[in-house]
């Protein structure tokens, strides 16, 4: 599966202020989700955010919200976002078939959502450097389960270049100047 910008949607799970301090590489997850969110919006790819029980875990990270123009927000109490009332219908209505998935915790809400999306027939791309748990090794176990379910593990760079396809149009020049150049020199950890 290669990613196509006309059929993709970026889904960011539960990057909330109450959860971030305990995550391993939580700041990087927010930064990379924000970065790909910016690329997505520039290419008219929908961006959705979920928040798990915000009364307890707080709102989404301010820097994530600041980097996005108009994400669709979902509050949820199911760990699996796809089981939240209204979510499955709304997702199907977008016509998107490829879901780029990231957030926290990798082995609970991201995993359960990802497995449900695979079961529902979506192509799922697990954004490695923007998906995090308290314990990095527990996030790695989640990644393996997703791979077994058919998901691809991707980086934000991979997705951006697959969405862009070629380097000889104005779209590429704009995204390269605003996004790609900056990320190229940034150190990153891929869980």
- Which residues contact a copy of itself (rule: CB under 8 A)? 1-2, 22, 52-53, 77-80, 83, 107-108, 111-112, 115-116, 119, 128, 134-135, 137-138, 140-142, 144-145, 147-149, 152-155, 157-158, 161-162, 164-168, 184, 188-190
Q: How do strand 98-104 and strand 8-13 relate by DSSP bridges?
A: parallel
CB-based contacts of 108: which residues, under 8 Å, 6+ apart?
A: 79, 133
Give 97: exposed, middle or buried? Use CB within 10 Å, 0-12, 13-18, 19+: middle
* Of residues 77, 63, 136, the one with CA closest to residue 112: 77
Q: How far is the CB of 53 from a copy of itself (least distance, A)?
A: 5
Q: How far is the CB of 93 from a copy of itself (least distance, A)?
A: 24
Which is nearer to a copy of itself, 68 or 139 (by Cβ)? 139
Which is nearer to a copy of itself, 75 or 178 (by Cβ)? 75
| Burial track 103-139 (b if 16+ CB lie within 10 A, e otherwise) | bbbbbbbbbbbbbbbbeeebbbbbbbbbbbbbeeebb
Q: How far is the CB of 66 from a copy of itself (least distance, A)?
A: 26
Are 105 and 141 a contacting pair, CB within 8 Å? no
Q: How far is the CB of 191 from a copy of itself (least distance, A)?
A: 10
Which is nearer to a copy of itself, 68 or 133 (by Cβ)? 133
Which is nearer to a copy of itself, 68 or 179 (by Cβ)? 179
Residue 103: strand pairing partners: 13, 131
Q: How far is the CB of 69 from a copy of itself (least distance, A)?
A: 27
Q: What is the chain's Cα-based Rg? A: 15
């Amino acid at each position: 599966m290669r990613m196509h910008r006309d059929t993709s949607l970026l889904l960011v799970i539960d990057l909330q202020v109450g959860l971030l301090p305990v995550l391993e590489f939580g700041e990087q997850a927010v930064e990379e989700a924000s970065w790909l969110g910016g690329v997505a919006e520039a290419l008219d790819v929908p961006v959705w955010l979920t928040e798990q029980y915000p009364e307890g875990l707080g709102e989404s990270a301010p820097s994530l919200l600041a980097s996005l123009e108009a994400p669709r927000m979902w509050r949820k109490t199911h760990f699996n976002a796809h089981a939240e009332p209204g979510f499955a219908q709304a997702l199907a209505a977008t016509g998107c078939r490829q879901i780029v998935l990231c957030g926290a915790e990798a082995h609970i809400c991201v995993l359960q959502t990802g497995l449900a999306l695979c079961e529902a027939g979506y192509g799922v791309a697990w954004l490695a450097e923007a998906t995090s748990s308290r314990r990095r090794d527990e996030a790695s176990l989640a990644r393996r389960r997703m791979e077994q379910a058919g998901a691809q593990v991707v980086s934000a760079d991979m997705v951006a270049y697959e969405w862009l396809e070629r380097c000889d149009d104005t779209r590429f020049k704009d995204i390269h100047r605003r996004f790609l150049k900056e990320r190229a020199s940034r150190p990153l950890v891929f869980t």
